[in-house]
Amino acid sequence: RRHTTINGRANGTGPPSGKRLFQGQESFEQAPMYVAVMTYLGFGLVTLFGYFRDFLRAVGLEKCHIAKERDEQKDFVPLYQDFENFYTRNLYMRVRDNWNRPICSLPGPVFDVMERVSPDYNWTFRLTGKTIPNVINMGSYNYLGFAENNVDFLKTVAERVQQYGLGVCSTRQEMGNLGIHQELEELVAEFLGVESAMVLGMGFATNSTNIPALVGKGCLILSDELNHTSLILGARLSGATIRVFKHNNMQSLERVLRDAVCSGQPHTHRPWKKIMIMVEGIYSMEGSVVCLPDIVALKKKYKAYLYLDEAHSIGAVGPTGRGVTELFGLDPSDVDVLMGTFTKSFGAAGGYIAGKKELVDYLRSHSHSAVYASAMSPPVTEQILRAMRCIMGLDGTTIGQTRVHRLAENTRYFRSRLQEMGFIIYGNDDSPVIPLLLYMPGKVVAFSRAMLRRKVGVVVVGFPATPITEARARFCLSAAHTKEMLDKVLFDLNEVGDELCLKFSQRKYTSRPKEQHHNNNDLNKDFKQDSL
């Protein structure tokens, strides 16, 4: 792991301009050796006890809650493989109360959590009818605070429901192509600074169903090793050859590119029909930002195509919220396929594909999402229009830009305070996704429960979603978080970090002057005034 600097000339492959476009620190501090040893030891112990519990179930000394084959089906191919479900029944079930917690309010900066209890060690849950009120939400992707229920803000959305209803009940190519869909596509293209855009009703499907329309057999996909599952699924469905390069490592990418161009396809050595590089703007589990200038330079050098997934970066980074292309000062036309979702910064649902008009027109007739999927719901479409106009200032207010700036300030403040406390965190200084490393499986569970007792809702992630030695809590900052909320969370984190011995960092960070966060207080006042 490393502590690196990203800029327009990293690794010597950036644009030739002498102007530095952007510079930010990316921290991937390595934990002390004893932490890795204790983590492996912890997994070893729970695995050992898991086999012991399986033995007790087999001899009838412990009740078996898992699905199993009936005796009369013993000669059939088994549906439930014991080894494949070992992790689920012996490790995950014991700590399942830390996931899938039901909420019963707006998922804004605070929410209400439904209380539940389990009589059988998390195999089943029962709701008590009580709630845990006003839990600070540190896990939702509500980056700009547009997941809101302000009646004045949602007036136009309500009008669209009265005008069009809730569903279209048809595809865009049949009877579901509404005027507001075309209006949204034009606004998305204007927002991104490209020729054309196409909107779809599901963010995950935007990747998984459009990638197979762009590449196929005889094509090569170069995929970052930490790409999202939707990108991986789309690549696999395409039938193209997939090669993986190390995360944000330009030497690794250039090595694979050079080999692909020189060697061609396996066996025949014919040139690849297409070579497409697939990356994300912000990686949702690492909090890191793509080295976009370097990748653009490499794709131009080797005549490849670039597919950029901005699900977590659009709206969340850049001076005006236009994503990583704006963050690095690049021309959006340098990226061949711009993809993003409306489920995060825009508080809605769906996704978009944007770029040249020829690309979008091709996808309208060849993408499975465009041809077969139901059109985007009218109120969801209006919510995206409302949020995007707000960010662009087309609604006549500065609320959108206030939120963009406030998110950036909250992000830097929260990250710097965590580092000062001694926690190991991953990612870029400008990324609102902040992974806090917990490492040991027992500490992951204890951390989540301790934070909920303090009325802080956090997302914890472990193996197999992360490497086995890098379990973590993932914080997602929002413009809707006030400084008082963040300070309360930081106070609780400091206490829990001391109780559970989670402060593994060996680096020394200087404390920030108190006045450095005064801008956030000003933004809070401006935000409230603009809202009124």
CATH label of the domain that carries residue 105:
3.90.1150.10
6 within some domain: no
278 within some domain: yes
Q: Are residues 193 and 92 in the same domain?
A: no
What per-residue confidence (pLDDT) applies to 363?
A: 96
The mean pLDDT of 387-404, rounded to a whole number, is 95
Q: Are residues 113 and 262 in the same domain?
A: no
What per-residue confidence (pLDDT) applies to 80?
A: 64
The mean pLDDT of 254-260, rounded to a whole number, is 96
Q: Are residues 194 and 123 in the same domain?
A: no
The mean pLDDT of 298-321, rounded to a whole number, is 96
What per-residue confidence (pLDDT) applies to 507?
A: 82
Residue with more model confidence, 327 or 83? 327
Each residue of 331-389: pLDDT tens digit?
A: 999 999 999 999 999 999 999 999 999 999 999 999 999 899 999 999 999 999 999 99
CATH label of the domain that carries residue 223:
3.40.640.10
Assess whether pLDDT exceeds 90 at residue 1.
Answer: no
Each residue of 59-90: pLDDT tens digit?
A: 888 887 777 777 777 778 777 666 668 888 88
247 within some domain: yes
Each residue of 138-150: pLDDT tens digit?
A: 999 999 999 998 8
Q: Are residues 472 and 425 in the same domain?
A: yes
Per-residue DSSP letter, 89: I
| Category of 355 on φ-ψ map: left (φ > 0), alpha (ψ -120 to 50) or beta | left
The residues with which 354 forms a beta bridge, in sequence order, are 197, 338
What per-residue confidence (pLDDT) applies to 17?
A: 35
What per-residue confidence (pLDDT) applies to 529?
A: 44
What per-residue confidence (pLDDT) applies to 16?
A: 34
Mean pLDDT of the chain: 88
The least confident of 152-156, 504-508, 516-520 is 516-520
What per-residue confidence (pLDDT) applies to 88?
A: 83
448 and 304 Cβ atoms separated by less than 8 Å: no
Q: Categorize the per-residue pLDDT at 511 as very low, low, confident or very high, splitting at 50, 70 and 90.
A: low
In whole angstroms, what is the distance from residue 501 CA to residue 440 CA? 11
515 within some domain: no
Assess whether pLDDT exceeds 90 at residue 178.
Answer: yes
The mean pLDDT of 432-449, rounded to a whole number, is 94
What are 148's two structure tokens? 């809101």
Assess whether pLDDT exceeds 80 at residue 22.
Answer: no
The mean pLDDT of 145-167, rounded to a whole number, is 91
Q: Are residues 214 and 349 in the same domain?
A: yes
- Structural domain range at position 197: 151-392
Each residue of 281-296: pLDDT tens digit?
A: 999 999 999 999 999 9
Assess whether pLDDT exceeds 50 at residue 240.
Answer: yes
Assess whether pLDDT exceeds 50 at residue 116.
Answer: yes
524 within some domain: no
What per-residue confidence (pLDDT) applies to 75?
A: 78
- Closest by CA to 486, choosing from 410, 432, 423, is 410
What are 80's two structure tokens? 């439930």
Assess whether pLDDT exceeds 80 at residue 517.
Answer: no
DSSP-derived secondary structure for 6-38: E-TTGGG-S-S-SS----EEEEEPPPPHHHHHH
The mean pLDDT of 505-516, rounded to a whole number, is 62
Q: Are residues 356 and 239 in the same domain?
A: yes
18 within some domain: no
In whole angstroms, what is the distance from residue 408 CA to residue 415 CA? 11
Q: Are residues 79 and 203 in the same domain?
A: no
Assess whether pLDDT exceeds 60 at residue 278.
Answer: yes
What per-residue confidence (pLDDT) applies to 465?
A: 83
Assess whether pLDDT exceeds 50 at residue 125.
Answer: yes
473 and 511 Cβ atoms separated by less than 8 Å: no
Q: Are residues 407 and 387 in the same domain?
A: no
Assess whether pLDDT exceeds 90 at residue 28.
Answer: no
In whole angstroms, what is the distance from residue 187 CA to residue 431 CA? 25
355 within some domain: yes
Q: Are residues 172 and 236 in the same domain?
A: yes
What are 368's two structure tokens? 């499975």
Q: In the chain, how many domains are there?
A: 2
| Domain termination site, one of 357, 372, 392 | 392
94 within some domain: yes
504 and 419 Cβ atoms separated by less than 8 Å: no
The mean pLDDT of 448-465, rounded to a whole number, is 93
Each residue of 491-509: pLDDT tens digit?
A: 999 999 999 999 999 887 6
Assess whether pLDDT exceeds 50 at residue 520.
Answer: no
Q: Are residues 76 and 132 in the same domain?
A: yes
The least confident of 25-34, 204-213, 299-308, 322-331 is 25-34
Record the pTM. Answer: 0.88
The mean pLDDT of 467-476, rounded to a whole number, is 93
H/E run at residue 205: helix 203-214
Q: Are residues 325 and 453 in the same domain?
A: no
What per-residue confidence (pLDDT) applies to 515?
A: 41
Residue with more model confidence, 508 or 414? 414
Q: Categorize the per-residue pLDDT at 527 as very low, low, confident or very high, splitting at 50, 70 and 90.
A: very low
What are 478's two structure tokens? 């929002």
Percentage of residues in the chain with pLDDT exceeding 70?
Answer: 90
Cis ω for the linkage preceding 212 (within 30 of 0): no
Assess whether pLDDT exceeds 80 at residue 11.
Answer: no
